[in-house]
A and B are shown apart, each in its own frame.
Chain A
């Protein structure tokens, strides 16, 4: 029923209305169906007016401010749309006729109405003809309808004034920002609206309950009240619709679950429900589980239908007009909304909705869930899935891929809003690098988590396994030039170890794929928020396509040519030196790790015994790794670090693990042990800055003038302690906001050593 606004603005063209009926906006295929059953429509078809008015307001935001104003008569009254008029006229007219078979004459009437629509006198004529049917459900007195109808006809343009208006209303009508959230919502709601209106007509036309029962929620209303124009109904969820509904059926079966169903104003008006009514709620409805309440809340219940109590529509009509009193709840304004929650749990813990990532195994319950979700056949081409996005049924298409790598990426910083201030919090996004049977890669971004933990588990459980993806959204299509980091990782996995399929050609098992060029583009996909569409088959074998990281020795790596190559190694971290200050937020911390391995220790000369690996801020270290690094020196597996310009750096997509993965293609020697106690290079003229070395010598002097000591906080290491204001005998750490009971004393001393190897010069060591 979305008649074009422009046509109305000018004038009601003769052919416009009836043909508009026939070619009606979104989805009305058969107008005869509509017209047949208008008897059942009440004047609450004014919903249409409401919506249409709202749709006007999609372009001009101040239009909807009128809706903010609650007028004595509902919004529907300020109908500024000529649309509504013929609809209502049709309604009344057909009601009067009330016979389905007289469609042809109706049609004629439509046209007649059409041509005379601009005549105010005509309205009066109509009005007088059907006084009773118009007032079928006295949502409004007929005279009001008449008044508004007249107003409509006289000023086809939008009415701009109604009661009290803020200065904002009178401001210029503003278009919504293109691509902005508001515009997107408008588009969504317009689509929904037409779907809803079409559906309502559908329902009326099949007087019986539609046979498609999937996803239908059947509820019986126990109690109703209203809060801020939303009708809240406490209901019982029924398994199936009761065959006979008798009003004597007041016994509440306590075993059936109680739910709260919210109905929007228009839906409530359409339903005119009262306690003991049975309502069918068709999908898509949404369920919300509140944290503190046991009762789930159902919303977006636009597609609701009341099960009629009796066979005769007329009798229900006569029952209809009695007004029902509803209690109205006043909501306190004193309670504000707290948006920050500090726990990692998803708000909806309902098993229907969420599966915790770590538990994504094929448990029997999960299998049942999979079976119930009607996913389509399994595909093996990512490209096909990507290209079919948006087409009908794409959501059900599953793609089977191999998980090559699992890692965390630093995600956008969020803000935790509090009364005191916005504290930035960091998020880490779990990602998978997957490859399909055609060799195409894709980075799949899963959920954002507040802490990067369990990465080792995910890697162990998922890498190399097959995985089915469904309903992914494309975040972007990135190219080599734009995502060097991602492509350096992809390059390390190219060429594929087994022949990959080539689209369009018969699969020749002997086809060599070494000649295929490495991919130049990659899709970044993301999981639809709130739903897991990824199933990892952990029980299955490792795919042949999987390329585990090639472990090399540090000596080999240092001698590698090439730039920006990914390399993996197993090394012992001797020392961690933070490169950024303590005060820098966690996500920007950089550090140097001094590492060594068997090969470096065994070398006599030529390459350093200890190498500095720099860890940049974009490399996400899991919490277990950070703890391990801080505690003691130990062996760490560096997966997919970057080698270039003579340096090894850990960037994004580099993963540090505590254990060597079982599947990596190991180098010859067992590199897990060092040949002996760690040896460091001796200090000499070639020693470079920022490297570790050993110095041996005799202390010959101390520079007393520069020696000093200072206390530091034993908790956080803060070197700037202050005097405690209340008691100047105590020290206070402002970072911990607490008194320091036992400060750690640090000293700085310059010591002169005389080293035999360096004689005659002396070495100054700052301790």
Chain B
């Protein structure tokens, strides 16, 4: 049903702007009353589809940790439902979970995986746990996947 993807140009890039706006609204709604996020979470569902509920679940479970090092570098670690820890980057949309590799990278069927969405939602609602680590530890977190695959 789809042509092979063409160059991303002109009218492209709608969804990220919409998603960003949505997350901003959620953050604002969360500040006003903690129950005010319901209509926005419904929009979240519209845009992000099946990732919305699992992402919210990760937020409920406080699974997102922001890892900081003294130099100011950050990364996010999300505890998945299986107990496995996935790393999400701050500077671009990347997650070490297989769903990301498949759905986002390979198939371009989704903007984010549920972990990255959970990171944003946790930011929006102040639900991120904080962890300070040394430079070496952060480096190893960022490089960890390579080591595993290697």
A residues with a Cβ closer than 8 A to B are: 54, 57-58, 61-62, 64-65, 67-70, 164, 166-171, 174, 176-177, 180-186, 188-189, 192, 223, 225-230, 232, 234, 260, 262, 264-265, 286, 288, 290-293, 297, 299-300, 302, 323-339, 341, 346-348, 411-415, 417, 419-422, 427, 429, 445, 447-448, 473, 475, 526, 528-530
Contacts and interface: CB of A to CB of B under 8 A. Distances in A.
Contact of B5 (A329, A336, A346): A329
A339 B23 contact: yes
A464 B83 CA distance: 58
B3 A331 contact: no
Contact of B102 (A164, A180, A339): A164
Interface residues of B, number: 88
Contacts of B29: 529-530
Given A228-B109, A339-B24, A68 B50 contact: yes
Contacts of B60: 176-177, 180-183
B113 interface: yes
Contact of A333 (B27, B43, B93, B130): B93
A184 to B, nearest CB: 6
A68 B114 contact: yes
B31 A325 contact: no
B15 interface: yes
8 contacts: A166-B99, A188-B41, A227-B14, A329-B13, A334-B93, A347-B21, A413-B126, A420-B72
Nearest to A72: B107
Interface string B97-121: 1110011110111110110000011
B46 A262 contact: yes
A83 B52 CA distance: 24
A127 to B, nearest CB: 24
Given A181-B37, A288-B18, A337-B120, A414 B56 contact: no
Given A188-B38, A300-B46, A421-B72, A329 B8 contact: yes
Interface of B: 1-6, 8, 11-25, 27-33, 35-39, 41-47, 49-57, 59-61, 66, 68, 72, 74, 80-84, 90-94, 97-99, 102-105, 107-111, 113-114, 120-121, 123-124, 126, 128, 130
B12 A225 contact: yes
Contacts of A414: 27, 30-31, 126
A68 B116 CA distance: 13
A337 B56 contact: no
Contacts of A337: 16, 19-20, 23, 120
Contact of B124 (A192, A333, A335, A339): A339
Interface SS of B by simple majority: helix
A164 B98 contact: yes
A559 B82 CA distance: 67
B89 to A, nearest CB: 9
Contacts of A411: 31
A116 B91 CA distance: 57
